[in-house]
Amino acid sequence: MSTETDLANLSNNRLLQFTTNRKFRVYRHIVVALFLAVTFLNTKNAFVEPVNTLLKIGVFFLMLLLFYFNMYWLIPKFIFKERYLAYFLWIMVLLGISLVSVNIGRYYLMPYFKNPHSDNFAAASIFPFVFVFFIFIAASSAIKLFQRSIVVNQRVNELETVTIQSELEQLKNQINPHFLFNTLNNANVLTQKDPQKASQVLMKLSELLRYLLYDSARQKVLLTADIHFLEDFLNLEKIRRDNFEFIISTLGDLNGVQVSPLLFITFVENAVKHNMDAENSSYVHLFFKVEDNELSFNCINSKPPVETIKQHEGGLGLVNVQRRLTLLYPEKHSLYINNGDDVFSIDLKLTV
């Protein structure tokens, strides 16, 4: 089923490329000319030869001129600029000129008509021509409008992609300095208290920086790598705080699962920031579960009886990550925040 869908998409893309890409312009003109030639060659022979063939050739070039005049001059000049009344008047003028030409041609070509005394002579000369006239106007208009719609949609998609990428980079840049500031602060505290632990922190910090500078620059990273990054971060926090503990639990097959980089660190940072308790023990528990192409992430942290920093369901970090989720996983994620009396929890589900 997926193979058939891929083939259909490939065929559609090739058709769109042929219709809109400038490098296929000559081939498009050849197709139009061949289509017109075949159409006129297969029309009924109403006149004697060689007048019949010469007339078909003349009408062929007339319709070709009308086709391209409408496509490359009338449509861009009037329809694209929303001057619909002027466009309608131009079409009526062209139709009038064409009918006058047909009547003049009918007068001079009457001796060559196979059955000039037929009651259908006038109808055979005028009404089919009017019908063909509007068919060619509609066809050239449809092709030009279709080409423009494709080009406009491509530009809009490119603009949206550039805008989203720019916004995502801006959001990541807002996260990284905040994270580095906290981590360096921890390293500074440990340097004063315990130089040996400070050395361990600096080693962990170098790994974190390597991840931030290189791995997080990718569009996707392995979930296992991101979890290892969170583990390093929490280990740094545990070294700095004696009454702090954390648990990272995983369930399901995490191998090969890819996610956007630095997607969970904001939640963990928020948990660490708001569960500091100088008197009682504090904790952060992380749970990752992968099942049926769905990733579940839970972050639960304790809250001190009296919060030194008011914890709320907002803040720059959480606002940023919510925005990133909207951009990266549109209609493929759900986020629930529960701010209880003694615990604060995040429940995130992603389709991966």
Per-residue tokens: 236: 């740094």
| pLDDT value, residue 18 | 67
Specify the pairing of strand 258-259 against strand 221-222. antiparallel
Tell me how far CA of residue 58 lies from CA of 34, 64, 73, 312, 334, in angstroms: 15, 10, 22, 79, 66
Nearest partner of 271 among 231, 300, 238, 293, judged by Cα: 300
**Placement of tokens 């208009």 in the chain:** 141
CA-CA distance, 135 to 30, in Å (whole number)?
A: 19
Q: Report mean pLDDT in 10-residue bins for the chain, 352 residues.
A: 45 63 75 74 67 74 84 88 89 86 72 59 62 83 84 69 58 56 70 76 79 76 91 82 89 91 86 80 93 93 70 58 81 89 91 85
Continuous segment of H or E residues that includes residue 288: strand 282-291
State the distance between the two ends of the chain, measured CA to CA, in whole angstroms.
20
Rg of the chain taking only CA atoms, in angstroms: 36
Handedness of CA 158, 160, 162, 168 (dihedral sign): negative
| pLDDT value, residue 135 | 84
CA-CA distance, 210 to 205, in Å (whole number)?
A: 9
| pLDDT value, residue 10 | 43
CA angle 338, 343, 349 (to 5 degrees): 40
Per-residue tokens: 122: 């006038």
**Placement of tokens 């990428």 in the chain:** 165
**Which CATH architecture group holds 194-351?**
2-Layer Sandwich (3.30)
CB 344 within 8 A of CB 303: yes
Please return the burial class of 346, using the count of CB atoms within 10 Å of its CB with bins 0-12, 13-18 and 19+: buried
User: How many residues belong to the chain?
Assistant: 352
| pLDDT value, residue 114 | 63
CA-CA distance, 129 to 109, in Å (whole number)?
A: 15
| pLDDT value, residue 316 | 54
CB count in 10 Å sphere of residue 139: 16
Domain residue extents for the chain: 2-158, 194-351
Entry pTM: 0.53
| pLDDT value, residue 3 | 45
CA-CA distance, 19 to 60, in Å (whole number)?
A: 23
